[in-house]
Structure 1
Amino acid sequence: MSLTSDQMELREDDIVGHYPAVTAMLEGFDHTPRIGVADSDETPEKSSGIGSRRRFRTTTPGLVTRSTARSEGVQLLARIEAADGGDALTSPLQATVMNVLRRAVSIALAVADQYGAQTGLGDLKRANLQGSLAAARKTEFSELLAAEALITLYVFGNATAYLLSPHLSEVTVEVGEVEEILTDNGQLALHGALWELDQDIGAHAGDDARLVATVAAFAEQLMEKVKLRAQTAGRLEPFNGAAWHVAADDLTIRGFSPSSKAKSTTLTMTFKKPNEVVGNHIAKYQAMKLAKMLMAYDFDRRLNPFAELGGFIFTFMGDGKPGTGKTTLIQMMAGMINDYCQIAGYPFRYQNLSTGNIDSYQGKSGQNAKAFIDTIIDPSVIGFGTIDDIDTLAGKRGDRQSSAGQLEITAVLMESFAGANTVVRGNCTFGMFSNYPENVDDALRQRAGARFLVDGPITREDYIDILYLLMGKNHDIPLGDHDAYAAQEIKKAVAASFASHARPHEDGLLRVYEQVRGDIGALDTIAKLGTYLKGIQEADDRFTGRAIKNITDAVKVRAMDFELPDEWMENPDLFLFQDYDTKMNMIKELRQPITVEMVIQEINRYADSEFRYADKSDEVAIDNMVREYERTEAAKKRYLEGK
């Protein structure tokens, strides 16, 4: 992989130069634990210098006091050798883990050296050793050392997880939270982390598979803990704003973001062709457009021209009655992206967040949701994530029926889809699907930038087409007076569907529309359109600024109301393999101007969905209350009759 414009090469000589010192560190060093306190159990030592398995007795996390613990000798290489029940020979996987740890620590130290050179920390270290460090710079020196420690720990964990990923099996290990996070300097930070890793290997690694799983799990926990610390630490801008590439490992280090190998997921679903999705014209059309939009992503620039121009759909919600085709729509869109990626040679990941990710263990549901998000947003792949039946998966805040796990998932999705740290690169999209969108938390639902009404077959022609499709070929029944799939001609059907939103569909919104038009006339200026939006907000106070953003995003998508030519997908050299600026110019040539009609249609489409959800929610609440009243009356009657 070649360097991109924002990457610096981390020279192999600089990494390998640390090998002798790192090897000596892994062979043995002394460390006095400060935060994580290990008590030896009664299990005898397996060999000289290798301590018995320990259990943690933690003090207050983050509180560093003068330790009364004795210094412990940490011999990590010997610990790894003993992690197989006493086999005298080192196994290939044990050797792999040893080499990964040496490589990861060396990469971390090389990055720390780069940071020291950029910030002047190296000069301050030399002055401190010579006793010539000015008193006025001691605070700066301390802050830079703490930043260096966090950088060293994170890069060590990141590189370890990355390099071990090809060797992971189905075996998993829970190592718990990493405690021994020290920020005095990079060297002491590594001692603390390696001491705790030594404890975890002794406690969990009884064979090769568990050894690899333990080290990988520790690396993930280390990254998570350090990333949280880094949110409140200073002097980290030079690290956050830079990217280093290690050519030998194809590893890219970008701040406190985990690196991952650009691997595709193996899809086992049954793909559907567009003509196999009957009805759902707007939803189908937008899904087809979005599949091609994703392919415009530029892996070198790590940005999609559609995301920069404002016409990219990062999140969308598909809602409709059961059996109207939501699953079929997912299968169609995933199949199209998969086919395009295979032609272009791009890695593609599809994953669905399901109810199986809800866990009774506190915090685990949120971790599952975060892992799902991280898998899809990985900038080195094209990603498509779905959340089917989101009303049962994500809890509604304030609803006593929502479990803690459901509320954890809601919080993660809200933060990931429109949080302070959300970055839309245009390499992935998330679809939320529900039969009962009124049961989805209002704030989470509003984070869906686009709405796909999945209403299934509607017309007589739709029902003939779906019957013809599902009957298959094993029959001799004539088709009759009907042109199969003619009604599914996408452009004609979509034009009619969009035009139908020139007026609202829901009664509540229609009343607002008629009243505003009656007061100010035709909605043909920004001021009049804004007045209409204010009228909608007065009728439904959930219609906030986020709703306006979603509408304007949808309007920008309409400005991109064109399909990238099929030839561009079939022959990657025409478009996909062009540089970013060329792609941008090619897309701009196809863009069309925004019209008043577009804006009105998108306001009505979005507001219709909100009014539809509100009406359904109210109806459900009323029906529930009526049932409760009926039960109360029946209970009273039965009680009186029994007396």
Structure 2
Amino acid sequence: MSQSASEMELREEDIRSHYAAAAEMLMGIDHAPRLAQARLTLAAPERSPEISAMNRRFRSTTPGMITRQMARPDGVRLIDRIAESDDDDPLTSAKQAAVTHALRRALSIALAAGAAFADRTGLGELKKANLETRLPAARQGEFGELLGAEALAVLFTFGNALAFLLAPQASEQTVEVGSVDEVLTDNAPLALHGALWELDQIIGLHAKSDDLLVSAVLAYAEQLMAKVALRAETHPRVQPFAEAKYRVEADDFTLAGFTPARKARGTTLTMAFKKPEEVIGNHIAKYQAMRLAKMLMAYDFSRKLNPFAELGGFIFTFMGDGKPGTGKTTLIQMMAGMINDYCKIAGYPFRYQNLSIDNVDSYQGKSGQNAKAFITSVMDPAVIGFGTIDDIDQVAGKRGERGSSAGQQEITAVLMEAFAGANTVVRGNATFGMFSNYPEMVDDALRQRAGARFLVDGPQSREDYIDILALLLGKNHAIPVGEHDLYAGQEIRKAVAASFEGHSQPHEDGLKAVWAAVAGKIGPLDTLAKLGSYLKAIQEADGRFTGRAIKNITDAVKVRAMDFELPDEWMEKPDLFLFKDYDTKKAMIADLRTPITVEMVVQEINRYADSEFRYADKSDEAAIEGAVRDMRRMEEAKRRYLEGKG
């Protein structure tokens, strides 16, 4: 990959010149913790002194932790700690070696970055003057501040490079390592010693297998970066590092101040994928899911932007709702399968994750952490991401609802901020689908953050039911089809055109009344003024129909303007489109756009408003039924109370 004009190079020879110092730190350092508390202490030996000297045993001071081997009284030897992570195996495993090499490389990159910072800020000259006892008293304050800034730069670079280099070794296992406390800013060497001491503690506690070893080190690196970046916000003289951009060509690693670099980490999916022809009915939902799968593939990894996100028409969030058994899971399996296949052809990393009820935790703050980790993982700009929240009415709590737990409320807050918050950046590499059988139970503000609505209503026509019967029966029979053109009704463009046309008129009774009143006053909706009048009338009928609803409608209209499928050939032969540069891809997409029509706008207003009226009706009916049940219970309780009293 070529180096941009704004990037400075961290030369390979400069990095490798620190290999010896990095290896020495891994082999053994002495460090007495200053800010952190030791999590483990030395246990009394149970064997002969000779054996104990070779293989000391330690016990945890952390409640609930099992006995593990711990930091030695003669210093921290991280290489030995890593080798002991699989207990009795005398040979070093591939992952242990990978961790050790990543640590040496990350330490060397960090030391090289520290040297570059010292050269850039004049700290190198101040160090030399200090060693020679000729540092002016007037500059001692500046010297101390620069030493602290260098320590923060070196610590962040260490964590950043370590996370980047170890990313390909990551598994699906995760480790909670707690807070990172031993963040020292006296000088860079002491800062690294403190970091290695704390990492040794964490490995001793958590690394019970190779996968857990990698997960523990990665978790530590992430926590270290977060703590250092927070400290750097108020520390003086860090700007030269924060504004610098360095390139490590051999690792394809870019160091951009206190911003974490992300290495592509895909996941191997084991779900049962479905083909589009196996999704019966749900024509609009299927069509939009198929198009969205191809839209994601237009993402440009160099520019970190998707032309669809810039031109308009990219679906960042969508809500799929329908009765149980109408095909929501099948739709997820189809879309994930298509993206997975396209990514395999292009060689792109694909990450699919689902946020489920299992992520709601009774421990305060843990549910929010789970939701943040889910969002961060899917939105990683180094991958194509697809995130789903199935049964979102159970996962995310409705604010003000007495039945919602604190954990559910935490997840709601995180999702609302992630989907449409002040810091939300839609790059076009990831999309999120929320699915529910009871969308009326989803918090109104969270539901309105779904930019598109997929009504998953399952088979509808006689032809649909014949098709799904034939599909599910399979081929182990000789029953004739009869007078029916099998799967002809599933021809997607024909079915979608009919489905969109069906929204030229409202479907829900409440919206029908608004439509009739507006049409009776102003006639056909053929101008922006008349369309605005219709929207205002909807808002008067339902106060939740706010400006966000209008944005979602206009976004859906822009999607309709992109009412084309990227040719299958473009997905099958990446050189035709996927591997083009960003501007070429953008121009190719722009050429396929169609003009926005008033029919599109009317249909999308009705589609969106129908869904909101449908949710409101269901929500009101559910509330009424609940109130009736409460009244009946109170009447029965009163009757039994009076009988018992008599």
Identify the TM-score tier after normalising by the shorter chain: 0.7 to 0.9
- Equivalents in 2 of 1:497, 1:254: separation in Å? 48
1:36 partner SS: coil
For 1:487-566, list aligned pairs within 5 A. Answer: 487-566=489-568
After TM superposition, the structure 1 stretch with the greater mean CA deviation from structure 2, 509-518 or 598-607, is: 509-518
Which residue, 192, 195, 200 being the options, matches 1:193?
Answer: 195
Amino acid aligned to 1:18: H
Structure 1 stretch displaced more, 572-581 or 111-120:
111-120
Q: Does residue 131 of structure 1 match 2:135? A: yes
Contact 1:83/1:206 (<8 A) preserved: no
CA deviation digits over 1:51-86, x for unaligned, max 9? 9767489xxxxxxxxxxxxxx974334763784699
Mapping for residues 52-67 of structure 1, pairs under 5 Å: 55=61
Q: Is the 8 A contact 1:36 1:56 kept in 2?
A: no
C-alpha separation in 2, matches of 1:616 and 1:155: 53
2:22 paired residue number: 22
Q: Are residues 403 and 592 of structure 1, via their aligned partners in 2, closer, same or farther at CA, if it must alter by over 3 Å?
A: same
**What TM-score comes out, normalization by structure 1 length?**
0.87
Residue of structure 1 equivalent to 2:76: 75
Q: Contact (CA 8 Å) 1:83, 1:201: kept in 2 or not?
A: no
* Cα distance in 1 between the residues matched to 2:577 and 2:82: 52
Instruction: Tell me the amino acid that sits aligned with residue 609 of structure 2.
Output: A
Task: Quote the sequence identity (%).
Answer: 69
In the alignment of these two chains, the number of paired residues is 627
Which blocks of at least 5 consecutive residues in structure 2 are unaligned?
A: 46-51, 64-72
Q: After superposition, where does 1:199-598 map in structure 2 within 5 Å?
A: 199-203=201-205, 212-230=214-232, 243-598=245-600
Instruction: Name the structure 1 match of 2:153.
Output: 151
Q: How big is the shift at 1:228?
A: 4.0
CA pair 417-226 structure 1, distance change in 2 beyond 3 A:
farther
Describe the shift of the 1:81–1:563 C-alpha distance in structure 2 as closer, same or farther (beyond 3 A).
closer
Shift of 1:620: 0.5
Post-superposition Cα deviations, 1:4-41, rounded to whole Å, max 9, x if no partner, equal 77765432122112223334444555555432244985
Q: Matches of 1:461 and 1:90 in 2, distance apart?
A: 64
Checking the alignment, whether the CA contact within 8 Å between 2:40 and 2:201 is kept in structure 1 is: no
Residue in 2 that maps onto 1:61: none
The 1:238/1:337 distance shift into structure 2, 3 A limit, reads: farther
Letter in 2 for 1:590: L
Judging changes above 3 Å, is the alpha-carbon distance between structure 1 residues 148 and 593 closer, same or farther for their aligned structure 2 residues? farther
Q: Report the more deviating stretch, 88-97 or 579-588.
A: 88-97
Equivalent residues of 1:559, 1:591 under 8 A apart: yes
Q: Which amino acid aligns with 2:17?
A: G
Q: Give the CA RMSD over aligned residues.
A: 3.5
Q: Matches of 2:106 and 2:78 in 1, distance apart?
A: 14
Answer with 162-171 or 184-193: which moved more: 162-171
The structural deviation recorded for 1:323 is 0.8
Shift of 1:538: 2.9
Q: Distance in 2 between matches of 1:473 and 1:87?
A: 53
- Alpha-carbon distance in 1 for matches of 2:470, 2:376: 41
Shifted more, 510-519 versus 473-482: the winner is 510-519
Q: 2:182 aligns with which of 180, 183, 204?
A: 180
Q: 1:281–1:497: 8 Å Cα contact kept in structure 2?
A: yes
Kept in 2: contact 1:4–1:300 (CA 8 A)? no
Alignment of 1:31-46 (within 5 A): 31=31, 33-38=33-38, 41=41, 43-44=43-44
Conservation of the 8 A alpha-carbon contact between 2:26 and 2:104: yes
Query: Distance in 2 between the 1:534 and 1:495 partners?
Result: 28
1:242–1:204 CA distance, 2 compared to 1 (3 A):
same
Tell me the SS of whatever aligns to 2:320. strand
- Paired position in structure 1 for 2:48: none
Instruction: Report the TM-score when normalising by structure 2.
Output: 0.86
Q: Match of 1:131, as an amino acid?
A: L
Could you tell me whether the CA contact under 8 Å between 2:85 and 2:204 is conserved in 1?
no
The 10-residue stretch of structure 1 (420-429 or 32-41) with the greater mean CA deviation from structure 2: 32-41
CA distance, structure 2, for counterparts of residue 415 and residue 574 of structure 1: 37
- 8 Å Cα contact 2:511/2:613 also seen in 1: yes
Task: Label 1:545 to 1:184 Cα distance change in 2 as closer, same or farther (>3 A).
Answer: farther
Q: Is the 8 A contact 1:8 1:244 kept in 2?
A: yes
| Amino acid corresponding to residue 76 of structure 1 in structure 2 | R
Q: 1:493 to 1:81 in 2, by over 3 A?
A: closer
SS of alignment partner, residue 433 of structure 1:
strand
| SS of residue matched to 2:362 | coil
For 2:413 and 2:234, how far apart are their aligned partners in 1?
21
Q: Deviations over 1:196-246 (max 9, x none)?
A: 223334555577666555433322322333344456667666656665443
The C-alpha deviation readout for 1:551-592, integer Å capped at 9, x for no partner, is 221121111111111111122111111111111111111011
The secondary structure found in structure 2 opposite 1:316 is strand
Per-residue deviation, 1:285: 0.8
Task: Answer yes or no: is the 8 Å Cα contact 1:15–1:106 preserved in 2.
Answer: yes
Letter in 1 for 2:36: G
